[in-house]
């Protein structure tokens, strides 16, 4: 039997990540409090994929419609790559268990990346829950995504809020819910880039993928991700391009120095 090895402290691979977020509906509590997570049923799930391939990055954002729960889960299983780091905000406390309970409800018990994230311990390197990482596993309290984004200068929740999802669905505005979910995975990814660069002391882990993402959004001629266009106006994106240029210059200098050293080496005499 094979056992997965989990390293501690967290040592996530950052070249291939998939950010996951879901929107749900649940019966309202009489006191207005947030309903217990087992009562929530997924409406949609958005996945932002970032993959480093040699010297460039590939991106995609897809939202899975759960109007047919079984088909939605099947599509989500196809989207989530077992080789990627799954990134969530409070995913261990909400998104992952809600989805796994839905899978159990649909009698879908096969092995997949979602199940791996569900059974993994807190320090598993396959799932990075940013609510826990920014809160240092309770040491700093559990912050909200909106407050962390505000501190980082990131515009958040411009497409709506979780409290308004039920009203959007009742009004037949499912597409607005999808856009809201996609904005959430985008800003969660931005929070992840900041965490990754800070965790590993490497500004390139923010600058390179973020500058590439900006170019990717700019190439969206069909307007598929027009609801994310406002992110490109953030100072963060401009700073990423400047940092990318500086890091590229440093790379050129370093490689030139390495070539000069190799050229000056003289073979030893036997």
Note the pLDDT tens digit of each residue in 34-86: 899 999 999 999 999 999 998 899 999 999 999 999 999 999 999 999 999 99
pTM of the model: 0.88
Q: Whole-angstrom Cα distance, residue 173 to residue 156? A: 20
The residue among 249, 187, 238 whose CA lies nearest residue 48 is 187
Q: What is the pLDDT of residues 217-264, one digit of tens each?
A: 999 989 999 999 999 999 999 999 999 999 987 777 767 767 777 777
Confidence category of residue 269, pLDDT binned at 50, 70, 90: low
What is the Cα gyration radius of the chain? 21
Q: What is the pLDDT of residues 173-190, one digit of tens each?
A: 888 999 999 999 999 999
Higher pLDDT, 253 or 205: 205
128 dihedral zone (left: phi>0; alpha: psi -120 to 50; beta)? beta
| Tokens, residue 94 | 């909400």
Q: What is residue 7's predicted lDDT score, i.e. its pLDDT?
A: 45
The residue written with tokens 């909106």 in the block is: 146
The residue among 93, 25, 23 whose CA lies nearest residue 64 is 23
| Tokens, residue 235 | 């100072």
Determine the Cα angle at 213 with ends 255 and 197, to 5°. Answer: 60
The residue among 114, 110, 109, 94 whose CA lies nearest residue 38 is 94
CB 84: neighbour CB atoms within 10 A? 20
Q: What is residue 30's predicted lDDT score, i.e. its pLDDT?
A: 84
Confidence category of residue 125, pLDDT binned at 50, 70, 90: confident
Q: Which residue ranges form the domains of the chain, and what is each CATH number?
A: 16-202 (3.30.420.10)
* Res. 6: pLDDT tops 60: no
């Amino acid at each position: 039997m094979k056992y997965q090895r989990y390293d501690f402290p967290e040592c996530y691979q950052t070249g291939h990540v998939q950010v996951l977020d879901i929107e749900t509906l649940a019966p309202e509590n009489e006191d207005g409090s947030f309903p217990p997570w087992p009562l929530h049923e997924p409406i949609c799930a958005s996945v932002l994929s970032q993959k480093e391939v040699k010297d460039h990055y590939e991106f995609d954002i897809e939202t899975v419609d759960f109007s047919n729960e079984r088909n939605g889960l099947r599509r989500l299983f196809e989207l989530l790559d077992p080789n990627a780091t799954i990134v969530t905000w409070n995913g261990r406390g909400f998104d992952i268990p809600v989805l796994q309970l839905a899978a159990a409800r649909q009698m879908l018990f096969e092995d997949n990346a979602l199940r791996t994230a569900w059974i993994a311990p807190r320090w598993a390197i396959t799932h990075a829950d940013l609510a826990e990482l920014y809160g240092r596993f309770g040491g700093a309290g559990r912050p909200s995504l909106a407050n962390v984004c505000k501190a980082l200068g990131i515009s958040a929740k411009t497409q709506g809020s979780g409290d308004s999802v039920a009203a959007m669905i009742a009004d037949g505005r499912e597409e607005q819910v999808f856009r809201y979910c996609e904005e959430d995975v985008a800003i969660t990814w931005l929070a992840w880039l900041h965490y990754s660069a800070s965790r590993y002391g490497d500004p390139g882990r923010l600058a390179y993928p973020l500058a590439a993402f900006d170019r990717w959004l700019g190439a969206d001629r069909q307007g598929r991700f027009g609801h994310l266009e406002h992110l490109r106006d953030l100072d963060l994106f401009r700073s990423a391009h400047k940092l990318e240029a500086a890091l590229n210059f440093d790379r050129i200098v370093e490689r030139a120095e390495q070539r000069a050293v190799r050229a000056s080496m003289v073979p030893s005499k036997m």
